[in-house]
C-alpha cells in the first residue's frame, strides 16, 4: 500500500485470505473484518438525511466540512443517535456521516434476560459490566468495548474485532467536571474533558493538551427527551489522526453515553 491508496477494506497482509484489514490512507490499522463474497445491503436508517444535517449544522453548530472516506474511521464528523425507546433495556445507536449516510452502529451485547429485567426494575445495572460492539455499515464488528463492573470510577477497555488490545479510557475523578485519560500500553496519549459538571459536552485533547476533537450533545426536543431515554451526539474531529489515537477517539464518541456517563446522567 502507498499513501495514494484511498482508505478502505483490503486483503489483510498479516492474516488469511478470508480476512480484510482497514487501511486508513496512511497505514494498516488494528481493525479487521471477515471477507464476504457478497456485500450485504446497508440497514435502513430511522433518521432521514435532512434530520441528521439539521442536527449537525443547527443543533451542534458544526459547519459542513469536506467529505471523508465514507467509514467510521475516515469521516471528520460522526453523528451518533440512540434508538429512542420508552424503556431502555439494551443500548443501541446508529452512526451517520454529516450528510445522513449510515456509517455503522453500536450495540450492547452479552445481556441475559435476567440482566434486562434487573435494568428495568432497578438502577444497579449501571454498576455492572457492560459490553459494546461497534459495527460498520454492513454489520461487521470493527471494535469491542468492555466497561468492567465499577463502584465510583469507570474504565473502558477497547479492543479490535479480533481481540487485539487498542487501549483504555480511564476516569480520573468522580467530583466536578469529569475527566478521562486515553491510555495505550500504560502511557497517557490524550484526555477527554467534560465541559461542565453534568458532562453533556466533551473536549478531546492529545498529549500536548491540544484539542483534536469535540463531542456535542444534541437535543431531540423537550417532549421526546422527557418521555424517552434517547441521547444524541455529534463528534467533530479537527484534524487527521493516526491509530491508536484515532480508534480511541472514535470509540469514545460512539460509547460516550453508555460507557462514560450512563449512571446519574453526568457522574460517569
Mean pLDDT of 210-219: 89
In sign, the C-alpha dihedral spanning 245, 251, 252, 254 is positive
The Cα–Cα gap between 44 and 237 comes to: 26
pLDDT value of position 3: 63
Residue 23 vs residue 127, higher pLDDT: 23
The Cα–Cα gap between 191 and 170 comes to: 9
Mean pLDDT of 206-226: 75
pLDDT value of position 2: 63
The yes-or-no verdict on residue 120 having pLDDT over 50 is: no
Least confident of 11-15, 201-205, 209-213: 11-15
The Cα–Cα gap between 225 and 56 comes to: 18
Please give the helix or strand (H or E) that residue 237 lies within, else none: strand 232-237
Q: Which three cell numbers stand for residue 130?
A: 457492560
> Sheet of 19-23: strands edge to edge?
8-11, 19-23, 28-34
Mean pLDDT of 124-132: 65
Residue 253 vs residue 44, higher pLDDT: 253
The yes-or-no verdict on residue 235 having pLDDT over 60 is: yes
- Maximum mean pLDDT: which of 3-7, 86-90, 242-246: 242-246
Distances in Å between the Cα of 60 and the Cα atoms of 77, 101, 200, 233, 261 are: 11, 17, 12, 8, 19
Least confident of 16-25, 84-93, 105-114, 183-192: 84-93
Mean pLDDT of 228-239: 77
The yes-or-no verdict on residue 133 having pLDDT over 80 is: yes
pLDDT value of position 194: 87
- Maximum mean pLDDT: which of 33-37, 49-53, 81-85, 92-96: 92-96
The yes-or-no verdict on residue 95 having pLDDT over 70 is: yes
pLDDT value of position 111: 55
CB 250 within 8 A of CB 72: yes
- What fold, for 48-265? Porin (2.40.160)
Q: Is 253 helix (H, G, I), strand (E, B) or coil?
A: helix
pLDDT digits (tens, 9 = 90+) for 135-151: 998 888 999 999 887 66
Percent of the chain clearing pLDDT 90 (strictly above): 28
- Maximum mean pLDDT: which of 128-137, 187-196, 249-258: 187-196
The yes-or-no verdict on residue 117 having pLDDT over 60 is: no
CB 46 within 8 A of CB 94: yes
- For the chain, domain boundaries: 48-265
Distances in Å between the Cα of 75 and the Cα atoms of 102, 126, 140, 166 are: 12, 31, 18, 20
Amino acid at each position: 500500500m502507498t499513501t495514494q491508496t484511498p482508505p478502505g477494506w483490503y486483503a489483510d497482509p498479516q492474516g488469511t485470505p478470508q480476512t480484510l484489514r482497514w487501511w486508513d490512507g496512511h497505514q494498516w490499522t488494528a481493525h479487521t473484518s471477515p471477507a464476504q463474497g457478497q456485500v450485504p445491503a446497508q440497514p435502513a436508517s430511522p433518521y432521514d438525511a435532512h434530520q441528521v444535517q439539521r442536527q449537525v449544522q443547527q443543533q451542534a453548530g458544526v459547519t459542513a466540512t469536506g467529505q471523508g472516506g465514507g467509514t467510521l474511521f475516515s469521516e471528520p464528523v460522526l453523528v451518533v443517535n440512540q434508538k429512542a425507546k420508552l424503556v431502555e433495556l439494551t443500548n443501541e445507536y446508529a452512526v451517520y456521516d454529516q450528510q445522513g449516510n449510515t456509517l455503522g452502529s453500536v450495540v450492547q451485547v452479552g445481556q441475559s434476560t435476567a440482566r434486562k429485567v434487573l435494568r428495568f426494575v432497578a438502577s444497579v445495572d449501571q454498576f455492572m459490566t457492560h459490553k459494546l460492539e461497534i459495527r460498520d455499515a454492513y454489520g461487521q464488528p470493527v471494535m469491542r468495548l468492555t466497561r468492567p463492573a465499577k463502584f465510583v470510577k469507570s474504565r473502558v477497555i477497547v479492543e479490535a474485532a479480533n481481540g487485539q488490545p487498542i487501549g483504555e479510557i480511564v476516569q480520573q475523578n468522580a467530583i466536578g467536571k469529569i475527566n478521562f485519560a486515553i491510555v495505550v500500553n500504560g502511557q497517557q496519549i490524550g484526555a477527554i474533558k467534560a465541559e461542565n459538571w453534568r458532562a453533556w459536552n466533551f473536549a478531546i485533547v492529545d498529549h500536548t493538551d491540544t484539542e483534536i476533537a469535540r463531542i456535542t450533545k444534541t437535543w431531540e426536543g423537550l417532549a421526546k427527551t422527557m418521555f424517552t431515554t434517547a441521547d444524541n451526539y455529534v463528534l467533530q474531529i479537527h484534524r487527521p489522526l493516526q491509530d491508536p489515537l484515532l480508534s480511541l477517539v472514535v470509540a469514545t464518541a460512539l460509547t460516550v453515553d453508555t460507557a462514560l456517563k450512563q449512571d446519574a446522567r453526568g457522574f460517569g
